[in-house]
Amino acid sequence: MMKKYGFNFDVMSTPCEIILYSDDPLHAQESAKAVLTEAKRLEKKYNYFDAASLLSQINARSKDLLDSETKTLLKRAKQYYKSTDGLFDITVATLKDSYKEAKEVAELESLLAALRPYVGCEHFQVKRDKIVFDNSHTKIDLGGFVKEYAVDRAVVILKKAKISSALINFGGDIYALGAKPDGSHFKVGIKNPDNPAEHAEVVSLYNQALTTSASYERQYKVEERVYSHIIKTQECEGNAKSVSVISHNCVESGVYSTALMLDSSLKQPHKTIIL
């Protein structure tokens, strides 16, 4: 008899949850453990703030050789940069440290002005098995891109483990694998940005990913000025408080929910909920 099992853990500074259905509690536990192990591997490898991570070594220019996984992720990121007209940009990391370093708005604006010429995925190339930058300033942060990739990897792991019904939630990056044992689809609530304790909408998911990007959850503050953690790298019109995108994988949803936060007029092929 299929039973519901829930597992909670923290990865990438994010509370994570897996709900899965299985007729074997040990198999359920082992499957969840395999997902956690994979997520921890990715966290260690691509941690922007860990000087020992592969990503930090790439940013420090102390390593340029890429394994196949990293090469694939960087190529995908460049493809999304192009398909979102530059809105989804992993080189926004070039600017992000300035928001923590600056003590005054004038200082921040000066730092940003000096670094903006080095923002953009055109400033690095993947050549064979190496990454090549055209300057010493451009930095990469795979950030949420890797968290969403970790969800997609979790789906692969659970499918290999013959789990056919599960809901994976890594800090709001969600994938519904199959349906519940009774045939019903998974229901997921989208927070009301004006009152996050409430749901603005509830969606039904079946073999689909859902991500939400929001301007109200994380912010930078310099003096009395507040800046969204979703940093603009170009002039664009974005006045949404939150954007949710449903697609076939979590990386795809995450890319477009972030890009649409910056410019809600961007054309994209997925179901979108803009609040």
Mean pLDDT of 111-127: 96
Q: What is the pTM of this model?
A: 0.92
Start-end of H helices in the chain: 25-46, 54-59, 68-83, 93-101, 105-115, 143-160, 250-262
Q: Read off φ and ψ for residue 155, nearest 5 degrees.
A: -60, -45
Integer Cα distance of 178 and 239 in angstroms: 34
DSSP 273: E
Whether 275 has a pLDDT exceeding 60, the answer reads: yes
Residue range 24-34: average pLDDT? 98
Residues 80-111 pLDDT 10s: 999 999 999 999 999 988 888 877 888 889 99
Query: 3-class DSSP state for residue 169?
Result: strand
Query: Based on C-alpha coordinates, what's the Rg of the chain?
Result: 19
The first and second tokens of residue 182, run together, are 């009774």
| CATH of region 16-274, choose from 3.10.520.10, 3.40.120.10, 3.90.1150.10, 3.40.50.1000 | 3.10.520.10
Q: For residues 250 and 5, what is the distance between their CA atoms, to the nearest angstrom?
A: 22
Model confidence at 260: pLDDT above 80: yes
State how far the Cα of 208 lies from the Cα of 33, in Å rounded to an integer. 22
Rounded Cα distance between 166 and 209, Å, is 12
pLDDT digits (tens, 9 = 90+) for 148-187: 999 999 999 999 999 999 999 999 999 999 999 999 999 9
If 0-12 CB within 10 Å is exposed, 13-18 middle and 19+ buried, where does residue 138 land? buried
How far, in Å, CA of 272 to CA of 2, rounded?
Answer: 33
